[in-house]
């Protein structure tokens, strides 16, 4: 049986603290931004993402609220499986914009579940090694009242 999950030891690099801020529209918080990096030694196509989920202070946020922002483009989570042409490099920070009316300023417990299949580890037809790029971190929401185009 192939390895189901591989986890590398770069958890502290996955969640990007400098990208953790609220998103404002007309001066009102409409959501927040979470910068994420891969916990892997190679880049991958965005279509390889199998699962992405965010918990804030123990509460799971529904994926319908997420927009995945990479290469200057924004995508819903449902679109990711079809993004064969979008590549996520290992030194590239992707952003999750989560439209939940924002978060209060201060410290929050962020838990990201991020699983993707590795196209380089094919064991049989449609059976791939899976990489667990999940991470957990206490992060402080930075004050940023900059308007963002939605």
As a whole number of angstroms, the distance between CA 41 and CA 10 comes to 10
Give the residue from 111, 89, 142 showing the smallest Cα distance to 11. Answer: 111
State the pLDDT at residue 1: 44
Other CB atoms within a 10 A radius of the CB of residue 76 amount to: 12
For the chain, percent helix, then strand, then coil, each to nearest 5? 10, 55, 35
Model confidence at 139: pLDDT above 90: yes
State the pLDDT at residue 150: 52
pTM surpassing 0.75? yes
As a whole number of angstroms, the distance between CA 29 and CA 102 comes to 5
Task: Choose from 8-17, 83-92, 112-121 the range with maximum mean pLDDT.
Answer: 83-92
State the pLDDT at residue 123: 80
Q: Which helix (H) or strand (E) holds 96?
A: strand 94-98
């Amino acid at each position: 049986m192939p390895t189901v999950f591989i986890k590398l030891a770069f958890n502290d690099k996955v969640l990007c603290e400098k990208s953790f801020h609220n998103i404002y529209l007309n001066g009102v918080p409409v959501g927040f931004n979470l910068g994420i990096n891969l916990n892997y030694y190679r880049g991958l196509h965005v279509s390889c993402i199998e699962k992405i989920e965010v918990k804030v202070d123990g509460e799971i946020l529904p994926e319908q609220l997420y927009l995945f922002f990479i290469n200057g483009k924004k995508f819903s989570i449902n679109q990711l499986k079809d993004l064969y042409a979008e590549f996520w490099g290992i030194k590239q920070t992707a952003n999750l914009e989560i439209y939940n009316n924002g978060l209060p300023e201060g410290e929050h417990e962020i838990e990201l579940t991020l699983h993707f299949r590795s196209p380089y580890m094919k064991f049989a037809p449609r059976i791939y090694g899976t990489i667990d790029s999940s991470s957990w971190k206490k992060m402080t929401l930075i004050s940023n009242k900059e308007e963002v185009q939605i």
